Amino acid sequence: MEIKNDEKVKVTFYPANKSTKVKKGENLLRAAMAANVHINASCGGAGTCGKCKVRIDSGEVTSQITEKLSDEELRENFRLACICNVESDLAVSIPVESLLDKSILERKPKKVISPILGVAKLCSLTPECQTESVVVKLHLELPKPNADDNMSDLDRVSVALKKQYELDLPSTDFAVIKKMSKILREADWNVTATVVLTRRGAKLINIQKGNTTCCNYSIVIDVGTTSVYCELLDVCKGEPIASASNYNMQISYGEDVISRIVYSQKKGGLEKLQERIVSTINGIIEEVIEESGVDRENVTHLVAAGNTTMTQILLGLDPKYIREAPYIPVANFIPPVRASSLGLNIENNAYLYTFPVISSYVGGDITAGVLGSGMFLRDELTLYIDVGTNGEMVLGNKDWLVTTSCSAGPAFEGGGVKFGMRATKGAIEQVRISPDDHEPMILVIGNVKPKGICGSGMIDVVAELLEVGLIDQSGKFYRDKNLDRIRKGDTGYEYVLAWEDETQLTRDITINEVDIENLVRTKAAIYSGCVVLLNNVGLTFDDVDSFIIAGGFGHYIDVERGISIGLLPELDTEKFTFIGNGSLLGARLVSLSKDMLTEASKVARMMTNIELSNNKMFMDEYISAMFLPHTDLSAFKNTMGRLEKLWDRNNHIEKGDDIEL
């Protein structure tokens, strides 16, 4: 089991004399980013460009072996920051060739908040909550039958469950009855019963030889329109042990839910779409099973969270009426279904639980996110924002919840962006651009050469291009910059984030004006959706106590950069919390606690949906938000003040003026 080391150490960078506290073992390049210190890093942490050279003046680091440093440099304590880990308090000097940004922009360290990982934290908010899974394994040592005790095998198991665990057994899967007699005798009456706990008692779904109570696993799935994420959980320990993801294979039938619904109405369309999502999930299940080495028979249940269309298609339910006025889903609460009946490759009688949906366009993924965030238990007013192909927002507290959704486009998940990709290994997730020479400092997930850019990287790069004055507020590149990294490409002007030889690809990784426009559309939809939702209940951003941002767009999201591009409102950054994938978070909770399953229904019942289609205010707000950060600059006064200072400073640098850095 992984041992968590939360010990913090201090790293000071010279000559900037900037310090930051990081966890022991943190990557040194990430520490530099946290301290807002620019180190030239163009291979994203793969250790191949040799540009992130630093000298360790005091303290301990561990480092991978590299040919990029000479023996003499190694003797003088030079290291490559990207393949170096901080082991104690450090003093680090950045040589001139690595230190391109002498100004060190004044930014508050960004707030990275870990997701709530276990049931315990949420359960501590509801004292009566039990951390008992909805599917449990119970060890039974049964008395052997004889002439005086000749009850049936099933009755024998039923009596033992009542006697040992005070559980009634009103129902049993027929498949279990079929194999029961043989297993009981081969196991010499020493068996483990897998039961689903229901309000009426237990349902027996499997019987295994011996004591397998320590092997209870579940699979949780975020069924997204663009991407599908999956985790294998150890139910006994309450923690994920393997994870995998892939693009939803339905993508070739349309990028958004509307085009999927349209396709589902063609002959055989629904069956094809269902087959595609089942294949996607099966592929991911294979990966997590292989990675964990878990016996498939010990996967006792699955929990899936998806938007309404994705949920219905997965279950083979016609989504036709989701798209037709008055926009009705088949059902808000769908009972668990046998996973194998859908074609999911799970060997035993495991059931698939899906989250209740609120409306046609606010689905189970939002119920899961609200559950996982715990906002429905708090007094304070929270705005929950889920950034995906659809943008969903939920506003409220323990007394009321209102929600809405809008089509945001897949830009944050890599769609509609030339080098866009999911937040997986090889994705550029953080970017800084030197205002002096416009060289990038990039960080790549997995510390490998980059092959694309994920959502958080997109937010960073657009904010950086704006701040260093390479694009204007409409997202267009200034044409008068004489830089190698800015050029005219196939789809208009573009900025080179990584040259071909620094990537895993056979071409440069760039971001172009079409990519930026797609990102601007996405951020405009999210921001204006929030404004309209607040307006519907007579509130503004200032009334909100806390903001929770969910989405699978990256491991790190910089709130200040989200504000710079107008994705998030200009408020104290302390108000924002980032919880990563909200669907998975809620699905984990339901998988580990049957009380959370009940809470999920409560959350869904609490939510009132506000429809944005044909909402005039939404369209007006959306058009106003199609600017960086916004056309209403009064809502972004501080941001504009900061940007204007930066632009002014950049102009002086370009003119060669001697300014105080």
In angstroms, what is the minimal distance from the CB of 22 to ligand FES? 17
Q: Which residue lies nearest ligand FES, judged by its C-beta?
A: 82
- Residue type, position 561, single letter: R
CA distance 314 to 369: 19
In angstroms, what is the minimal distance from the CB of 613 to ligand FES? 46
Which residue, among 240, 230, 340, 242, has the nearest Cα to 283 in the 3D structure?
230
Three-class SS string for 238-258? Answer: CEEEEEEEEECHHHHHCCCHH
Counting beta carbons within 10 angstroms of the beta carbon of residue 490, is it exposed (0 to 12), middle (13 to 18) or buried (19 or more)? Answer: exposed
632 conformational bin, left if phi > 0, alpha if psi -120 to 50, beta if neither: beta
CA distance 553 to 580: 8
Residue ranges in contact with ligand FES by CB under 6 A: 41-43, 45, 47-52, 80, 82
Gyration radius of the chain over CA positions: 27
CA distance 247 to 624: 32
In angstroms, what is the minimal distance from the CB of 52 to ligand FES? 3
In angstroms, what is the minimal distance from the CB of 42 to ligand FES? 6
Closer CB to ligand FES, 80 or 350, in the complex: 80
Closer CB to ligand FES, 81 or 486, in the complex: 81
In angstroms, what is the minimal distance from the CB of 35 to ligand FES? 16
In angstroms, what is the minimal distance from the CB of 66 to ligand FES? 8
The answer to whether 559 and 108 have CB atoms below 8 angstroms apart is: no
Closer CB to ligand FES, 350 or 441, in the complex: 441
CA distance 42 to 49: 7
In angstroms, what is the minimal distance from the CB of 45 to ligand FES? 5
Which residue, among 568, 489, 1, has the nearest Cα to 238 in the 3D structure?
1
CA distance 156 to 556: 54
Torsional sign, CA 334, 338, 340, 346 = positive
Closer CB to ligand FES, 12 or 447, in the complex: 447
Burial 37-70 (b: 16+ CB within 10 A, else e): bbbbbbbbbbbbbebbbbbbeebebebeeeeebe
Closer CB to ligand FES, 38 or 203, in the complex: 38
Peptide bond into 335 cis (omega under 30): no
CB atoms within 10 A of CB 200: 9
Closer CB to ligand FES, 43 or 470, in the complex: 43
In angstroms, what is the minimal distance from the CB of 316 to ligand FES? 48
Closer CB to ligand FES, 22 or 205, in the complex: 22
Closer CB to ligand FES, 48 or 639, in the complex: 48
In angstroms, what is the minimal distance from the CB of 498 to ligand FES? 10
Closer CB to ligand FES, 434 or 573, in the complex: 434
CB atoms within 10 A of CB 164: 14
In angstroms, what is the minimal distance from the CB of 137 to ligand FES? 48
CA distance 281 to 189: 36
Closer CB to ligand FES, 79 or 523, in the complex: 79
Q: What is the DSSP letter of 83?
A: G
